[in-house]
Amino acid sequence: MIHIRIGDWHKLPVSLSELCINTTLRCGQSFRWKKSSEDEWSMALHGRILSLRQDSEYLHYRAIFPKPTNSLPTPPPSNSEVDEDDTLALIKHYLNLEPNLADLYAQWASADPNFKKKAPNFTGVRILKQDAWEALIGFICSSNNNISRISQMVEKLCVHYGPLIGHIGTQAYHDFPSPSALTGPKVEQHLRQLGFGYRAGYIYQTAVAVAQKEKGWLDALRNPESPVLGIDPKPAGEMIEGGRDGYRRAHEELLALKGVGPKVADCVCLMGLGWGESVPVDTHVWQIAQRDYKFGKGKNSSLTKATYDAVANKFRSLWGKEAGWAHSVLFTADLKTFSGRLVAKVEVKDEVKILKTENEGLVKEETITETAVVSVKKKTKREFEEEEEQVLKVEETTTRKSKRRKIT
């Protein structure tokens, strides 16, 4: 077992409306965060184990370093050195804490009544600034899959091919493997044995392709306004209907990789390369577009390349260059993990009248009305989610009405 140095807990003032880690870390962006204890999340990141927990006023964080460091940090920062004192900078960068989220929500809500209706229950959702390589492989694993199984696959990749950073209790934490670690001649066969199916070939061939490219190729596709840790941001050009030139170039180059279609390319652009206007459109988002934005009629009756672009352009016209971020809030709001507890509006009333004799010949007539909401069971299955039978909650209310009348 690797010897580790456990740092102290520190705290950073962050309200739940600006960041909610219990939502952000579970909504299908990153697949390696684990609950290390009650209300505590941990992951190996940049050569350390990073642990987070949160209360209503503060984000609490702690770094656990291997002692001595036995491997290079993964993902590696470009043109900068990571030392043991950069954890706060890493957290602010990774969690994308610089933008004022309340201002963004207000901007999106003013442009879209549907966002205004749903967003108040899902504040604090941020787009993480993840390593592009990890995002690429994670979303290749997402093909025809759900969050639980994607997380299991990513965990297997880390355990079998990533460097071990340390343990919390008996739980091992591995960093994400580099492209070269997944280029061995037996990798594809091994991944198939581990249950990756056809994705094994995609992962292997993509790793080979990326390893053969010039060093830093993926990071060169990043939005210069959202660079890697340690690099100053630069302007990214004017926003147009289909997205900025850099976004469209990155999307096109990603499509050349094995296992990368338009949705996976957009996921990587948004969550790995920092292109906020990237709007991944899967069957789940298509359902949102049909239900809430009047798509699905006439020429927009099915999800084709044309309707994919139409949905993305619609959202970009509403929300601007952070359309992918706003779309992710609605995506999260529609996940049953967070919003499946709908109450069926079926009321059952039962009335009872009680007569009570009071002084001075008065009779008190009291009516008790009990109203119950009937529980409903419903099976749902959406892309990215597991099929689950939901038991919807039952609510009961009791009201009393009384009146007095004189005995005749």
Q: Which residues are tagged catalytic?
A: 263
Tokens of 14: 């962050």
Tokens of 181: 């670690």
**Do residues 364 and 402 touch, judged by C-beta distance below 8 A?**
yes
Map residue 350 onto helix, strand or coil.
strand
**Do residues 112 and 118 touch, judged by C-beta distance below 8 A?**
no
DSSP for 143-192, written as a single string: TT-BHHHHHHHHHHHHHHHSPEEEEETTEEEEPPPPGGGG-STTHHHHHH
* Torsion angle, alpha carbons of 110, 114, 116, 122, to 10: -140
Query: Which whole-number Å values give the CA distances from 203 to 112, 160, 207, 266, in the listed order?
Result: 38, 14, 6, 17
Tokens of 17: 């409306």
Of 368, 357, 370, nearest in space to 402 by CA? 368
User: What letter would DSSP give residue 384?
Assistant: B
User: For residue 102, what is the enclosing H or E element?
Assistant: helix 101-111
Measured CA angle at 58 (ends 56, 64), to 5 deg: 130
